[in-house]
Chains A and B, each alone.
Chain A
Amino acid sequence: MNQAMSANANVDTARQWLKRQSRWSPFEIVFWLALLLPFFLFPTYLPLASQIAIAALFALSVDLILGYAGIITLGHAMFFGLGAYAAALLAKAGWSEPLTGLLFAGVFAGLIGFITSFMIVRVQHLALLMITLGLGVLTLELANAMSWLTGGTDGLRVPRTWPIFNYFRFDLWGYTSYGYTLAVLFICFLLSRLLVNSSFGLALRGIRENVKRMPAIGSDHHRHLQKIYTISAAMAGLAGALLAQTTSTVALDVLSFTRSADVIVMLVLGGTGRLYGAIVGAIIFLVARDQLAGINPQYWYFWIGLLLMVVVLFMPKGILGFLSRLAGRRDND
Chain B
Amino acid sequence: MSSIVIVLFDGFAFGMLLFVLSVGLSVTLGLMNFINLAHGAFGMLGGYAAVTAMRLLGFPFLLALPTAFLAAALLSIVLERTLFRRLYGAPELNQVLLTIGMVFVAAAIATYLFGTVQQVIILPSWLRGSVEIAGMRFGVYRIFLIGIALIVTALLVFGLERTRLGAQIRAAVDNQRVAKGLGLDVEKIFGITFALGSGLAGLGGALAVEIVGLDPSFGFHFLVYVLIVVSVGGLGSITGSFVGAALLGIFDVAGKYFWPEIGSFLIYLLLVAILFVRPLGLFGKR
Contact = CB atoms under 8 A, between A and B. Distances in A.
Contacts of A122: 276, 279
Contacts of B107: 301, 305
A302 B108 contact: yes
A119 B276 contact: yes
- Is chain B's binding surface mostly helix, strand, loop or mixed? helix
A298 B111 contact: yes
A184 B108 CA distance: 36
A312 B111 contact: no
Contact of A302 (B87, B104, B231, B264): B104
A131 B273 CA distance: 9
Nearest to A304: B104
A265 interface: yes
Contact of A134 (B35, B235, B271): B271
The interface centre, meaning the residue of A126, A261, A316 with most chain B CB atoms within 10 A of its CB, is A126
B104 A301 contact: yes
Contacts of B126: none
Contacts of A305: 100-108
Interface stretch (A14-22, A137-145, A159-167, A238-246): A137-145
Interface string B75-104: 000000001001100111110111011111
A311 B97 CA distance: 9
B160 interface: no
B275 A72 contact: no
Contact of B105 (A133, A265, A302, A312): A302
Contacts of A257: 224
B234 to A, nearest CB: 10
Nearest to A308: B101
Contacts of B104: 301-302, 304-306, 308
A125 to B, nearest CB: 7
A300 B102 CA distance: 14
Contact of B101 (A124, A127, A145, A306): A306
Q: What range describes how many residues of A lie at the interface?
A: 35 or more
A126 B268 CA distance: 15
Given A133-B224, A305-B103, A127 B109 contact: no
Contact of A316 (B90, B228, B275, B276): B90
A25 B262 CA distance: 53
B93 A127 contact: no
A298 B276 CA distance: 40
A123 interface: yes
Contact of A141 (B97, B102, B227, B264): B264
A203 interface: no
A272 B275 contact: no
Interface string A270-283: 00100000000000
A313 B86 contact: yes
B265 interface: yes
Contact of B98 (A135, A261, A308): A308
Given A137-B224, A306-B105, A309-B105, A261 B276 contact: no
The interface centre, meaning the residue of A127, A144, A313 with most chain B CB atoms within 10 A of its CB, is A127
A264 B279 contact: no
Nearest to B95: A312
Nearest to B235: A126
B280 interface: yes
Given A124-B279, A138-B265, A312 B271 contact: no
B111 A134 contact: no
B27 interface: no
A88 interface: no
A299 interface: yes
B97 A125 contact: no
B214 interface: no
B268 A299 contact: no
Contact of B268 (A72, A141, A261, A307): A141
B227 A308 contact: no
A135 to B, nearest CB: 6
Contacts of A301: 104, 107-108
A312 B97 CA distance: 7
Given A264-B97, A308-B97, A130 B108 contact: no
Given A141-B268, A302-B108, A312-B87, A131 B97 contact: no
A192 to B, nearest CB: 20
B272 interface: yes
Given A122-B279, A126-B230, A141-B265, A309 B93 contact: no
Contacts of A265: 97, 100
A225 interface: no
B268 A134 contact: yes
A137 B112 CA distance: 30
A129 B228 CA distance: 10
Contacts of B264: 141, 144-145
Nearest to B33: A125
Which 6 residue pairs spanning A and B have beta carbons closest together? A305-B104, A302-B108, A308-B101, A305-B105, A127-B279, A309-B101
Interface of A: 66, 72, 119, 122-127, 129-131, 133-135, 137-138, 141-142, 144-145, 257, 261, 264-265, 268, 272, 298-299, 301-302, 304-309, 311-313, 316
Given A72-B93, A142-B265, A306-B104, 20 more contacts: A123-B275, A123-B279, A129-B96, A129-B231, A130-B271, A130-B275, A131-B276, A137-B224, A144-B264, A268-B94, A302-B104, A302-B105, A305-B100, A305-B102, A305-B107, A308-B101, A309-B102, A312-B87, A316-B91, A316-B94
